[in-house]
């Protein structure tokens, strides 16, 4: 029984492609969730969803030029995502439009452009491939890319941490003491785009958002400040990746890997929402005696 | 000017506003170094706008502000802070934001920790260091923001209605802090509504009603006459207002306007009725 269980857990990773998939997901699990924590705290959770659509036209353009080539689609996605992020950031800072509105405008343009480009050549299957990724097909360059994205993200977060927190908490104050608010904001958006592009290798543009946001939101039920939220979100993401990959390999039915990973993160979220010590549902139902002071 | 000439702020024919409509109109004067200036005036008089202009938060429409110190050396407490109080940040971390100019983005906060704790003690929040900012009451939060101002250690401090919704005891403590800054030779400018507070604690006052009404020693500014004039200046925002022709050098443009208007009127009458006055024309 235990042997069978162990075989189910360890067995899949005898295959190289599963090990690659695991390494790729673990690297993403270290870099995407901290960004998700900041997005969540800035009430920009849905912004990453919009950004994931913004990547599409670039990926599609790469696909048009070079066919189903990961480097071309990655480069295109990166360029398109950064362009949308920077333009939306610019419009937000220079006009009366708020961030959500300016981003919505640009991502809708980008998404429509992307669908148009994909439809110029290729079938629906190709579009699905771009949208949902293929974690089991990570080759060496793809792994290098994900590892690089993860490394750059963690280094950049370490460098930008203090101004980024200040920009989140009190942007007006940061403006009065420093000019770094704008650059920090753009750098943060760029990191989000990079991680979505990295995740799009493994999970596709739609599900890359899942690994960024679900762990961060889950962490909210377990930790209350940044020093707790960030590690917990990473841990949730690592767990979700491992569970998703293993279950997807062992499942009787054909369970695609990307959705399996995000569904695992979703399951962890629902469990945390119920039993989490910080404002979880069950905690709210039980009324505990109040304190003296 | 005091001995620290560099801290003085000179304002030359300054116009600030939104969408070209002036909210502060043709303000001239100087805020001397070490001054403790109260900004008073009815709602919509341009007090907040002037402070935003001084800190560089909004562009000037006309005229200029000369500051010896760099814009960064000014500490500014806005009326409605943009602070996201649901963000999981402790009081100590909020106060430590005041260390930015000394420590920047990377230097260890440990060096400024003592200063932060002293500031928190000075505003009477000892023991609250680890509390999340979201759990503070309005008065406690304002005390925390004053602690951040202390840590900022700026030569010029701008306060926009710092006592709105704050109880008497807290106001007393905070005014004592402000007076302490004044004694240390810092320049303080505060927008206030309570005339008794202003009379009791602020040596100089600027009474604004979009146009400057009076600027000088508090007792000379807060006279019934001046206050009545401030009340009467309309808050109206005229959508069709003409472009202001007020010129920096020449003040005799006003009469020019009149002459032009008269010419136009006479011209029209000339056409129909020779040199008859409007009254005659109507009859």
Flag if A159 and B106 touch (Cβ within 8 Å).
Answer: yes
The answer to whether B24 touches B5, Cβ cutoff 8 Å, is no
pLDDT, chain B, mean: 81
- Model pLDDT for residues B116-140, shown as the tens digit of each residue: 999 999 999 999 999 999 999 989 9
Name the region of B207 (left: φ>0; alpha: ψ -120 to 50; beta: rest).
beta
Q: Which of B76, B84, B90 sits opposite A176 (nearest CB)?
A: B76
What are the chain A neighbours of B74 within 8 Å (beta carbons)? 176
For the residues A38-51, what does the mean pLDDT come to?
A: 86
Q: Is residue B7 situated within a structural domain? A: yes
Q: Is residue B162 located within the same domain as residue B277?
A: no
Question: In chain B, which ranges are E strands?
Answer: 9-18, 21-31, 36-40, 62-67, 74-77, 156-160, 187-191, 204-209, 211-217
Structure-model confidence comparison of residues A34 and A42, the more confident one: A34
Claim to verify: residue B64 and residue B161 sit in the same structural domain: yes
Same domain, B233 and B264: no
Cβ–Cβ gap B75/A176 under 8 Å: yes
Asked if residue B94 belongs to a domain, the reply is no
Q: In this structure, what CATH number is given to the domain that contains residue B12?
A: 3.40.50.300
CA distance A198 to A191: 10
| A218 close to A212: Cβ distance less than 8 angstroms | no
Is the Cβ pair B84, A169 closer than 8 Å? yes
Question: What's the pLDDT band for B266 if we cut at 50, 70, 90?
Answer: very low
Is pLDDT at B238 greater than 70 in this prediction?
Answer: no
Decide if A44 contacts A99 (C-beta within 8 A): yes
Q: Are A269 and A261 in contact (CB under 8 A)?
A: no
Query: Are B160 and B234 in a shared domain?
Result: yes
Residue B273 is predicted with a pLDDT of: 41
**Best mean pLDDT range from A51-65, B33-47, B241-255:** B33-47
B210 and B271 housed in the same domain:
no
Which pLDDT score is estimated for B269?
Answer: 40
Share of chain B above pLDDT 70, in %: 80
Per-residue confidence (pLDDT) for residue A231, from 0 to 100? 96
Domains and CATH numbers, chain A: 32-211 (1.10.3470.10)
Interior angle at CA A272, CA A266 and CA A273, nearest 5: 90
> For residue B226, is it within any domain?
yes
Q: Which of A60, A27, A47 is nearest to A189 (CA)?
A: A47
Look at the alpha carbons of B157, B158, B163, B165 in this order and tell me if their dihedral is positive or negative. Answer: negative
Indicate whether B57 and B15 sit together in one domain: yes
Per DSSP, B39 falls in state E
pLDDT tier, A265 (very low <50, low <70, confident <90, very high otherwise): very high
B161 shares its domain with B43:
yes
| pLDDT confidence of residue A98 | 83
- Cβ count near A132 (within 10 Å): 18
Give Cα separations from A254 to A22, A130, A211, A257, A260 (angstroms): 19, 19, 21, 9, 10
Q: Look at A165-174, A277-286, B197-206 and tell me which has the smallest mean pLDDT.
A: A277-286
**For residue range B171-219, what is the model confidence (pLDDT) as tens digits?**
999 999 999 999 999 999 999 999 999 999 999 999 998 888 899 999 9
Q: Which candidate, A113, A78, A85, places its Cα nearest to that of A196?
A: A78
Interchain contact, B100 vs A166, CB within 8 Å: yes
ipTM tops the 0.85 cut: no
Residue B269 burial by CB count (10 A; 0-12/13-18/19+): exposed, middle or buried? Answer: middle
In a domain, B56, yes or no: yes
The predicted structure's pLDDT at residue B235: 55
Chain B residue with Cα closest to A158: B106
pLDDT at B247 over 80: no
CA A292 to chain centre: 44
The residues with which B14 forms a beta bridge, in sequence order, are: B27
Percent of chain B with pLDDT over 90: 41
Q: DSSP of B174-221, one letter per residue?
A: HHHHHHHHHHTT-EEEEE---HHHHHHH-SEEEEEESEEEEEEEHHHH
Residue B99 counted as domain residue: no
pLDDT category at A117 given cuts 50, 70, 90 is confident
Q: Which 158-187 residues of chain A touch chain B by CB within 8 A? A: 159-163, 165-166, 168-178, 180
Q: How far is CA A137 from CA A59, A205, A261, in A?
A: 17, 15, 15
Give A3 or B94, the one with higher predicted confidence: B94
Task: Provide the residue range defining the domain that includes B260.
Answer: 253-282
d(CA A230, CA B13): 51
Q: Are strands B74-77 and B156-160 parallel, antiparallel or unpaired?
A: parallel
Is the per-residue pLDDT at B23 higher than 60? yes
B218 and B268 part of one domain: no
Structure tokens at A44: 């920009």
* Whole-number Å distance between alpha carbons of A275 and A268: 11
Kindly state whether residue B145 falls inside one of the protein's structural domains. no
Predicted local distance difference test score (pLDDT) of residue B80: 74
Q: Dihedral of CA B165/B170/B172/B177: which sign? A: negative
Gap from A128 CA to chain B (nearest CA, Å): 38
Query: Is there a single domain that holds both residue B263 and residue B230?
Result: no
- Residue B115 falls within a domain, yes or no? no
Verify that B5 and B38 share a domain, yes or no: yes
Number of H helices, E strands in chain A: 13, 0
Query: Please, which pLDDT band fits residue B283 given cuts at 50, 70 and 90?
Result: very low
d(CA B161, CA B45): 13
3-state secondary structure of A149: helix
Local confidence band at B72 (pLDDT 50, 70, 90 cut-offs) = low
Q: How far is A97 from chain B (nearest CA, A)?
A: 15
Please give the Cα distance from B131 to B148 (Å, whole number): 15
Start-to-end CA span in chain B (Å)? 62
Query: Which of the two residues, A236 and A64, has the higher pLDDT score?
Result: A236
Say yes or no for a CB contact (<8 Å) between B89 and A229. Answer: no
- Asked if B203 and B268 sit in the same domain, the reply is no
Q: Which residues of A touch B97 (CB under 8 A)?
A: 166, 169-170, 173
- Does residue B109 lie in a domain region? no
Residue B87 in contact with partner chain A when CB distance is under 8 A? yes
Mean pLDDT score across all residues of chain A: 85
For residue B78, give the nearest of A162, A172, A229 by CB distance: A172
**What is the β-pairing status of strands B36-40 and B187-191?**
parallel
Nearest to A215 by CA among A3, A26, A11, A12: A26
Domain count across chain B: 2
| Residues with Cβ within 8 Å of residue B87, at least 6 apart in sequence | A41, A168, A169, B133, B134
């Amino acid at each position: 029984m235990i042997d069978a269980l162990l075989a189910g857990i360890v067995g899949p990773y005898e295959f190289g492609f599963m090990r690659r998939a695991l390494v790729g997901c673990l690297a993403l699990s270290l870099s995407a969730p901290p960004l998700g924590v900041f997005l969540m705290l800035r009430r920009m959770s849905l912004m990453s969803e919009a950004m994931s659509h913004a990547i599409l036209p670039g990926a599609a353009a790469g696909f048009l030029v070079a066919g189903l080539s990961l480097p071309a689609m990655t480069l295109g996605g990166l360029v398109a995502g950064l362009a949308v992020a920077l333009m939306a950031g610019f419009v937000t800072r220079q006009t009366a439009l708020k961030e959500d509105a300016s981003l919505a405008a640009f991502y809708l343009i980008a998404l429509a452009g992307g669908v148009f480009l994909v439809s110029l050549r290729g079938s629906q299957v190709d579009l699905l491939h771009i949208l949902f990724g293929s974690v089991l097909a990570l080759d060496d360059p793809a792994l290098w890319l994900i590892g690089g994205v993860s490394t750059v993200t963690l280094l950049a977060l370490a460098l930008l941490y203090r101004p980024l927190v200040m920009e989140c908490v009190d942007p007006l104050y940061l403006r009065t003491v420093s000019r770094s608010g704008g650059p920090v904001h753009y750098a943060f958006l760029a990191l989000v785009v990079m991680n979505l592009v990295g995740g799009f290798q493994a999970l596709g543009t739609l599900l890359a958002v899942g690994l960024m946001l679900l762990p961060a939101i889950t962490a909210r039920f377990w930790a209350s400040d940044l020093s707790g939220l960030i590690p917990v979100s990473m841990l949730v993401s690592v767990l979700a990746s491992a569970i998703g990959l293993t279950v997807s390999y062992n499942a009787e039915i054909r369970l695609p890997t990307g959705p399996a990973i995000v569904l695992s993160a979703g399951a962890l979220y629902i469990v945390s929402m119920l039993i989490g010590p910080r404002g979880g549902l069950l905690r709210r139902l039980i009324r505990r005696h109040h304190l003296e002071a | 000017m005091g001995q620290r000439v560099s801290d003085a702020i000179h304002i030359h024919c300054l116009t600030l506003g939104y969408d070209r409509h002036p909210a502060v109109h043709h303000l001239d004067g100087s805020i001397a170094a070490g001054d403790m200036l109260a900004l008073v005036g009815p709602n919509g008089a341009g007090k907040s706008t002037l402070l935003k202009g001084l800190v560089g938060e909004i562009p000037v429409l006309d005229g200029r502000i000369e500051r010896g110190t760099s814009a960064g050396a000014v500490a500014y407490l806005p009326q409605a802070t943009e602070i996201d109080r649901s963000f999981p940040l402790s009081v100590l971390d909020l106060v430590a934001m005041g260390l930015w100019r000394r420590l920047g983005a990377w230097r260890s906060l440990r060096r400024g920790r003592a200063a932060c704790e002293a500031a928190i003690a000075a505003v009477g929040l000892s023991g609250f260091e680890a509390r999340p900012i979201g759990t503070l009451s309005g008065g406690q939060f304002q005390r925390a923001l004053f602690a951040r101002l202390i840590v900022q250690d700026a030569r010029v401090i701008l306060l926009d209605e710092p006592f709105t919704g704050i109880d008497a005891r807290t106001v007393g403590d905070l005014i004592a802090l402000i007076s302490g800054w004044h004694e240390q030779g810092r320049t303080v400018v505060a927008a206030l509504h309570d005339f008794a507070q202003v009379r009791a604690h602020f040596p100089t006052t600027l009474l604004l009603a979009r146009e400057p009404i009076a600027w000088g020693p508090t007792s000379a500014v807060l006279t019934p006459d001046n206050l009545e004039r401030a009340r009467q200046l309309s808050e109206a925002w005229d959508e069709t207002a003409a472009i202001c022709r007020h010129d920096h050098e020449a003040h005799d443009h006003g009469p020019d306007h009149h002459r032009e208007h008269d010419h136009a009127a006479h011209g029209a009458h000339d056409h129909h009725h020779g040199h008859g006055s409007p009254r005659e024309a109507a009859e």
